[in-house]
Structure 1
Amino acid sequence: MHYRQRLQQTLSYIGSHLQDELTVDSLSRQANLSKYHFHRLFSLTFGITPADYIRLQRLKRASYQLAYRSEIRILDIALENGYQSAEAFSRAFKTSFGQSPSSFRKLPQWQPWFDKYRALTLLREQIMKQKPGEIAVNTVFFAKRQVAVLEHRGAPELLGHSIAKFISWRKANNLPPKVSETFNLVYDDPHACEGQDFRFDLCAGVTGEVEENAAGVKLKEIPEGRCAVFRHIGPDENLRAGIEYLYGPWLEQSGEQLRDFPLFFQRVSFFPEVAEQEMITDVFLPLR
């Protein structure tokens, strides 16, 4: 476990330094391990080489920037993610996803992207299962919110299309996250339902009506009431461990009863504005 913890800290370091030159020497120093052993331990522990992990992380952040941050130039995205030129970035991106960066920006093909990152998702879930310590759960009173909602209905791997549409609607209506709270209503566990049955609402806080629009955004309400809440810091792939703890040991030990409203998230900070391991998500479970 001592070695595993040091290697997990290295993953956090990589996520915060994707624009830097990341070598075996520098990473082994971060892990306080000999460079002669670091590579073998990393690959054995996580089932992926350091170089492949770094490449996947850089391309993941670049994908989000291409799809959701149209104001950032492709050259700047390349440089921010450790590539020396737009050409080098384009070659690496197309090799991984079968689309050029400019093509992905116009019309992302999320299914091949999702398939590419499935192994990384499973890796993170496995790491979290072995993470020691309990999750701090509090009981709070949540004040009701009016929210503009885009309903995603369909496979989780196609959620990226709905996110892009919702971001465009928010920009057009001057509702960026800095001035409008961001929530997700989580109706289904993606691991426990058929892909086409998956339901997930993208929400932005509003104070007035939502006019009829081509995006299909509508007005809903998150009702007031008691909730159990815990703060998750890190990638979405790692949320599952906390949610299972909330529905399992915490609910049983607390003696609380559930209210007839779905689990929901409040997004406090976002990837790619912050590194994935620095994302902050508050997870709310409605209680009677």
Structure 2
Amino acid sequence: MNVVKHHERRIRKVCDFIDGHLDEALSLEELSSVGASSKFHFHRVFKSFMGISTIQYVLLARLKRASFRLAFEPEHSVTDVAFEAHFESLEGFSRAFSRNFGQTPSQFRKQPNWPSWHSKYEFNPPKIGDRVMDVKVVEFCETQVALIEHKGSPKLVYNTAAKFIDWRKSTGLSPVKTSHTYGVPYSDPADTVEDEFRFDICGVHQGNVPKNAFGVKSGVIPGGRCAVAVHKGSHDLISDTVYYLYRNWLPESGEELRDFPCFFHYVNLVHEVDECDLITHIYLPIR
């Protein structure tokens, strides 16, 4: 079977599952299981093929059913349609409907703008461009680290990074000049509810981390095979390289993902060099 088609069939299976279970709570764990993918990678694999996140797809699937109710079943009130679509209030439903379709539910019920509506269901993967990246497969050795967990808004990661730098400076452990620095995002910050986003900032450190006021603790980045690509420039554009691995390299490689997130090795840091000179190695764990 064509490997790309194999991945597409997995994603189609997930979409069909969502479409058939709109009245249920759909968790990332359940959907990744349906797609036979690690929960650490599923959201990016899905988005690389569909162009939207699973959360957005679920929302649009529920709004599609709501649209049909509004257009063809006048016996259902707008409030009933809103609650069926899993909204807690009519106001929230109206905002979401208007944001996606450019019409309020009442306007759509009276005169649906079907051409605009259809355009929302023409899913397209993110554009990666015509570039070809050099991707290598390496054996990553298990690495003991000191880490600090960032939980919450991705926009506040630098606050947590500052704490980790202060810990390094005050203790002399995992010195930045001689110890590699890693970042481990447990999900895509663009598609994760802020309260659920986790990003570990790590520095190589052997042995236990002494108890400290910064919240730094011991951890391990597991060893194993990894695909590695080099990202050059701003960290704000790192997702371009990440999605190249998921959408371009992975399907063609025939490789399967391991149950650990992709992670970054920061060869240099934002306070050391100009942004255009930043170099980041992106590791995609594979079996």
> Shorter-chain TM-score category?
0.5 to 0.7
C-alpha distance in structure 2 between counterparts of 1:149 and 1:245, whole Å: 27
C-alpha distance in structure 2 between counterparts of 1:230 and 1:167, whole Å: 26
Listed one character per residue, the Cα deviations across residues 251-284 of structure 1 (whole Å, up to 9, x for unaligned) are: 1110100001111000101123111010010000
- Give the superposition deviation at 1:134: 1.3
| Aligned equivalent of 1:163, options 141, 161, 164 | 161
What amino acid is the match of 2:153?
A
Contact 2:138–2:226 (8 Å) recurs in 1:
yes
What amino acid is the match of 1:205?
V
C-alpha distance in structure 2 between counterparts of 1:169 and 1:130, whole Å: 38
Alignment of 1:40-59 (within 5 A): none
What amino acid is the match of 2:162?
A
SS of the residue corresponding to residue 165 of structure 1 reads helix
C-alpha distance in structure 1 between counterparts of 2:149 and 2:238, whole Å: 21
C-alpha distance in structure 1 between counterparts of 2:175 and 2:130, whole Å: 36
Structure whose CA Rg is larger? 2
Q: Does 1:239 align with 2:238?
A: yes
Structure 1's consecutive aligned runs of 4 or more residues displaced over 3 angstroms after TM superposition are: 128-132
Contact 2:128–2:240 (8 Å) recurs in 1:
no
Match of 2:58 in 1: none
SS of the residue corresponding to residue 191 of structure 1 reads helix
Please report the TM-score for the alignment, with normalisation by the length of structure 2.
Answer: 0.54
SS of the residue corresponding to residue 179 of structure 2 reads coil
What amino acid is the match of 1:197?
E
Please report the TM-score for the alignment, with normalisation by the length of structure 1.
Answer: 0.54
Which runs of 5 or more structure 2 residues have no equivalent in the other structure? 1-125
Aligned alpha-carbon RMSD (Å): 1.5
What amino acid is the match of 2:150?
H
| Aligned equivalent of 1:154, options 129, 142, 152 | 152
SS of the residue corresponding to residue 189 of structure 2 reads coil
Match of 1:145 in 2: 143
C-alpha distance in structure 1 between counterparts of 2:283 and 2:253, whole Å: 15
Return closer, same or farther for 1:186/1:130 CA change in 2, 3 Å cut-off: closer
C-alpha distance in structure 2 between counterparts of 1:192 and 1:152, whole Å: 16
Report how many residues are paired: 161
Identity within the alignment, %: 44
Match of 1:287 in 2: 286
Q: Does 1:189 align with 2:188?
A: yes
C-alpha distance in structure 1 between counterparts of 2:127 and 2:208, whole Å: 43
Which runs of 5 or more structure 1 residues have no equivalent in the other structure? 1-127
Listed one character per residue, the Cα deviations across residues 55-113 of structure 1 (whole Å, up to 9, x for unaligned) are: xxxxxxxxxxxxxxxxxxxxxxxxxxxxxxxxxxxxxxxxxxxxxxxxxxxxxxxxxxx
SS of the residue corresponding to residue 249 of structure 2 reads helix
C-alpha distance in structure 1 between counterparts of 2:283 and 2:169, whole Å: 26
Match of 1:4 in 2: none
What amino acid is the match of 1:135?
M
Contact 2:207–2:218 (8 Å) recurs in 1:
no
Alignment of 1:51-200 (within 5 A): 132-174=130-172, 175-200=174-199
What amino acid is the match of 2:276?
Q
Return closer, same or farther for 1:129/1:177 CA change in 2, 3 Å cut-off: farther
Match of 2:211 in 1: 212
